[in-house]
Amino acid sequence: MEYLLSKNVEYVCECGLLKPLTNLYFCRHCLNLRCFFCCHHEVDSHFCRNCLENIPSGEAKLRKNKCNTCFDCPSCTLSALSARATTIQVPMTKEVKEGGEGSEIEASSGKMVSKKMYYLACLACRFSSRDVGISDQPSQNFFWPEQEYMHAIRFNTILNHYYSVVLHDKQLKQEERRRRSTKQSKFPNMTDRTGLNVSAIRRQMGFDKSAAKPKSKPTAIAPSIAEDVDDLPEEIFTQPINLKNITTIQQRFTQPANQPESVKHLYPQHKNLSIKRSIRCRHCEHNVIKPEYNPTSIKYRIQQFASSHVPEVRIIKCDQLVPNKSALITLKITNPTMNDMIITIMDLPTEEEEKMMIEEMRKNFEKNLSVSNKSSLMRPSLIEDSRIVSCKITAKLELPDSSFVINQRDDSAEFDDDVQSDKKDPKFILWRKANKIAIQLSITPNGELKVNDDVKIGFSMNFTYSSVPSSTPEKKETQRYALCARIYINAGKIVQ
Amino acid sequence: MSKLENKIKVMPKAVVCEDSTIKGDVTICSGSVIHPSAQIIAESGPIIIGENCIIEEYAKIIHRIPPDHKLAQEKNHVLVIGANNLFEVGSTVEALKIGEKNIFECKSYVSSNVTISSGCVIGAGCHVVGEQHLPENTVIFGKNCQQREALDKVSGSHMLQLDFLRKVLPNYHHLRKPCDIKKAANLS
């Protein structure tokens, strides 16, 4: 995991944040990197991750975003409770209900029937529903007794009150608008003068209900009055406490309505629902990530991860870093696409250039917005300005003197024997294997660095990107673009 | 350290695989099941394992009193392990007193400073160190070794599993022969 998610090499997202490549997306339509923070997030569907039931969003709201059938362990708060079966011996009661006195004798004669009963248990901390006094249930899918909250009624009245306040406000506002709109009408209206407008006709015909409807008034609530709180009992200072009986903060937070103090009141909690989320580019409003709806599927319908479009840079090794002394760093660059790539490594833009880039981007976006606004029904997205990269370079990188080609990805290539290419590679290329290439560059850490300071290098990587042919007719052919990614590398620490 | 003399007594009806490592004076009461490659090491004194215990693969039971322990001066300390204990795969138990019906889950560790009563569960991967006594029905779980007390009796016995193991293990493993009690009595 450390290898996959290493933070030594970071790419600059379009919004100016530094992210490892695995955390970035690539918008095929804007041809830019996008990160978690500069995209729209949309909830696609709700589901329970325990029973994998898909729950429509309306119903999820009704159920307070909780699953009806699954429970979380209130004690260890990390695993789901599972239903366990026990068999108990019960006297035959069926006949007692049906028959008269005769069968009652039979029941008392000791005829026992085994019956399956279920209780909930946690496999991690061995919490069971019997611990808190919930009796066993005859069916696995039986609705377990719901916990009652002390303030539930009060909470409901307050909720209803505020609903009615909102309704009242809305009506007032509507009335106001109606009154104002008749006055502010610019154009004379003939029907108004003749008294034959729609509402008048409706009133004459007796259809008008709005007049008959009384104005809704907010339901009154009794304001809560602060009660006198008793002093703490003496024992609390003198008696030793048993920590096993007191709930932890974590346990209390999982039951916000009750916040029990004693473990005797830790009731099983309904499991929170999870969501499937799609991620949308803010600039062109195309999806970069769209999962499949089915909760059991972990596949995507659209997945534009940057790691499958942008060449990946990794550190293979780095010499010992000493200030003002050049050291060699070996990088591996991988081409994840199905087309050959020409890569040029260049200096990072200066601060002025960066500002100009940001300015240009904003202008571009505003222009696009004014064009697209006419056609699209979607609300224009709010775009935050990109920021200037916060990372400061602390070493000088000697750039390679020429650009180079990385072969396309070929899944069958790993079965081939190593074929030495006839082409003469420049000196800085150590080796190439299928779609990978290793380059060696020399870096010189700045003089003012102290021991254990991070040595940061950075470069812009220009690469050619061939778009995947899409189904739309005007983009049938692959097009080649020259794209640029800015990369910051943490080469290591200064040693002395 | 003097070389340990192996004095292993296996009571009838106990299933002890020959591939297990048993060193020192160890008595295994009837009905217990000891898997292959389990380790029982009686260094500082005899170990007596009670009835119907299961000791699974790579579980270690060590009777070794560290020199700075308060029991270090006592001679002939006997580690008595009660009945119906379950030592799961990879657990290491150095406790010097163990009651009944305890469960030591996978990869758990109990140091020699701890005494364990009955009905306790040491959760998977939990390390219990530091001088303490675990009262009855204590459950230790989670990565922070959180403790709670099971109000209910911790899930039933492992009798079904014992029966199954007693049937299956002899089919695939060589067993240590139980000693003849009468013979042993005559000798002494």
Residues A26-52: tens digit of each pLDDT: 988 888 899 888 888 999 999 998 888
List pLDDT tens digits, range A366-381: 776 666 554 444 555 5
A15, burial (CB in 10 Å: exposed 0-12, middle 13-18, buried 19+): buried
Query: How many secondary structure helices (H) and strands (E) does chain B include?
Result: 2, 21
Residues B148, A263: C-beta atoms closer than 8 Å: yes
Best CA proximity match to A407, nearest among A393, A396, A394, A423: A423
Instruction: Give contacts of A84 with chain B, Cβ < 8 Å.
Output: 155
Task: Give the dihedral sign, CA A38/A43/A47/A53.
Answer: negative
CA atoms within 13 A of residue A92's CA, in its CB half-sphere: 14
Tokens of A17: 């944040």
With contacts defined as CB-CB under 8 Å, which chain B residues touch A130? Answer: 151-152
Q: Which of residues 84-113 of A touch B (CB under 8 A)?
A: 84
C-beta of residue B75 within 8 angstroms of C-beta of residue B105? no
pLDDT value at residue A228: 85
Query: Range with the lowest mean pLDDT among A92-101, A128-137, A186-195, A286-295?
Result: A92-101
Which domains does chain B carry?
Answer: 7-182 (2.160.10.10)
Is A268 exposed, middle or buried, given 0-12, 13-18 or 19+ CB atoms closer than 10 A?
buried
Interface probe, candidates B86, B101, B132, B152, chain A, greatest A C-beta count within 10 A:
B152
Contacts of A487 (CB under 8 A, 6+ apart): A9, A10, A11, A12, A313, A458, A459, A460, A461
Distance CA A442, CA A396 (A): 9
Q: Under an 8 A CB cutoff, do A76 and B121 touch? A: no
| The predicted structure's pLDDT at residue B184 | 58
Distance in angstroms (rounded) separating the CA atoms of residues A43 and A51:
19
3-state secondary structure A280-348: EECCCCCEEEEECCCCCCCCEEEECEHHHCCCEEEEEEECCECCCCCEEEEEEEECCCCCCEEEEEECC
Question: Please, which pLDDT band fits residue A95 given cuts at 50, 70 and 90?
Answer: very low
Per residue in A446-480, pLDDT (tens digit) is 888 888 888 999 999 999 988 766 656 555 567 88
Distance between CA B94 and CA B88 in Å, rounded? Answer: 14
Do residues B82 and B99 make contact, with C-beta atoms less than 8 angstroms apart?
A: yes
User: Residue A273 has what DSSP assignment?
Assistant: P
Distance (Å) from the C-alpha of residue B54 to the closest C-alpha of chain A?
20
Classify strands B146-149 and B127-128 as parallel, antiparallel or unpaired. Answer: unpaired
Listed in sequence order, the DSSP H helices in A117-218 are 152-184, 190-194, 198-205
Token look-up 């006419």 returns A374
**Lowest-confidence pick of A210-219, A296-305, B5-14:** A210-219
Residue A402 near chain B (CB below 8 Å): no
Which of A84, A125, A248 is closest, CB to CB, to B139?
Answer: A125
Q: How far apart are CA A430 and CA A465, in angstroms?
A: 24
Q: Which residue of B has its CA nearest to A129?
A: B152
The β-bridge relationship of strands B114-116 and B97-98 is parallel
Least confident stretch, A108-112, A251-255, A263-267, A302-306: A108-112
Q: H or E stretch including B164? A: helix B159-172
Max CA distance (Å), chain B: 53
- Asked whether the beta carbons of A487 and A462 are under 8 A apart, the reply is no
Q: Which two tokens stand for residue B38?
A: 């389990």
Yes or no, beta carbons of A76 and B142 under 8 Å apart: yes
The tokens describing A173, both together, are: 């506002």
Give the gap in angstroms from C-alpha A293 to the nearest C-alpha of chain B: 34
Q: Residues in chain B with pLDDT < 50?
A: 1
Q: State residue A100's pLDDT score.
A: 44
Alpha-carbon distance A83 to nearest alpha carbon in chain B (angstroms): 13
Exposed, middle or buried by CB within 10 Å (0-12, 13-18, 19+), for B30? middle
Q: Where are the domains of chain A?
A: 9-16+306-493, 150-181+194-221
pLDDT at residue A385 is higher than 60: yes
Q: Which residue has the higher pLDDT, A363 or A333?
A: A333
The secondary structure element, H or E, covering residue A94 is: helix A94-98
Total Cβ atoms within 10 A of residue A295: 19
pLDDT digits (tens, 9 = 90+) for A223-263: 878 888 888 888 888 888 888 888 888 888 888 888 888 88
Q: How far is B53 from chain A (nearest CA, A)?
A: 20
Q: Look over chain A and give the mean of its residue pLDDT values, rounded to a whole number.
A: 81
Please tell me whether the interface predicted TM-score (ipTM) of this complex is above 0.95: no
pLDDT surpassing 50 at residue A99: no
